[in-house]
Structure 1
């Protein structure tokens, strides 16, 4: 049922195929995992097919090693008419140890679409805890900052 499941965590092992030339998990692999978690979370919240509209503020804090257990957590932190802003945390650690450390964090915006690919309404998310209120306010501030950055980037698109 749409509007009920606000968060999801994907868990799996980092595989040798995910490694980069430096011997750590490739940033592109992490970004793919982030996109998968964002889709799963936004589809669960909206009950609709969703597409990625934006991924930003990606911070690679610590490396992920092959063989680590990886947890990619996505949580709705703001909803618009058809969009959902998600906070994403990636944590990893030795599977023999319960401790996980933050490796990556970012914000992803997903848009629910109908069968013809047009944006469609999503259930509103209303924050309840003080932390949820702070996350929603942060998402709103980030929207305003992205508008300014978008306007600034226009100069780079003109010949």
Structure 2
């Protein structure tokens, strides 16, 4: 399988934000933006792998600034990392006020996608050619995020068995909650 560069699969989806996309506060609903991010992640992963791809996880969906009705939103995506069957797709979202020309960065997110064969089994994807320092940085950052996520998951799993009620109460002491548990008989 021939390696492919990140440039080969870079994808941008641009869409005008219309009133039906707005939430009760008059801003574009986060679910609309997530749906668009999922679409661009699918397109990018499919271009790289040449196969049907599915989303397996989403990291860091931080809504940095609200998106307004009438703005032109662009989702710019690239393959930042490849494993055997998985790809991490980095997505940068910008919104442009087409009247004023003001452009703002509204979201950055990372979608992990996997490629599937016709029978639904996982398939190997092409390795990634890194042609720039930015490509190297993105790949290295993805490796670091994977390591941190794995360490976090392992720590949470290890603490589950030792996480007694007393330790739980100690952890939440001083937080904005009230514990009202009726005595069990």
TM-score by length of 1: 0.91
Corresponding position: 1:75 with 2:69: no
The question of 1:112 aligning with 2:115 is answered yes
Deviation track 1:25-73 (CA, whole Å, cap 9, x = no partner) reads 0111111111000001100111100000110111111110011001011
Give unmatched runs, 5+ long, in structure 2: 162-185
Quote how far apart the aligned CAs of 1:98 are: 4.4
Would the alpha carbon gap of residues 21 and 152 (structure 1) be closer, same or farther in structure 2, given more than 3 Å must change?
A: farther
Note the 1:1-159 alignment, pairs <5 A.
Answer: 3=4, 5-154=8-157, 155=160
Distance in 2 of aligned mates of 1:99 and 1:124 = 38
Larger C-alpha radius of gyration, 1 or 2? Answer: 2
Change (3 A) 1:60 1:3: same
Structure 1: state its 5+ residue gaps: none
* RMSD (Å), alpha carbons: 2.0
Number of positions where the alignment pairs a residue of Structure 1 with one of Structure 2: 157
Q: Is the Cα contact below 8 Å between 1:2 and 1:45 reproduced in 2?
A: no
Cα deviation for residue 148 of structure 1 reads 1.7
Aligned partners of 1:10 and 1:71 also within 8 Å: yes
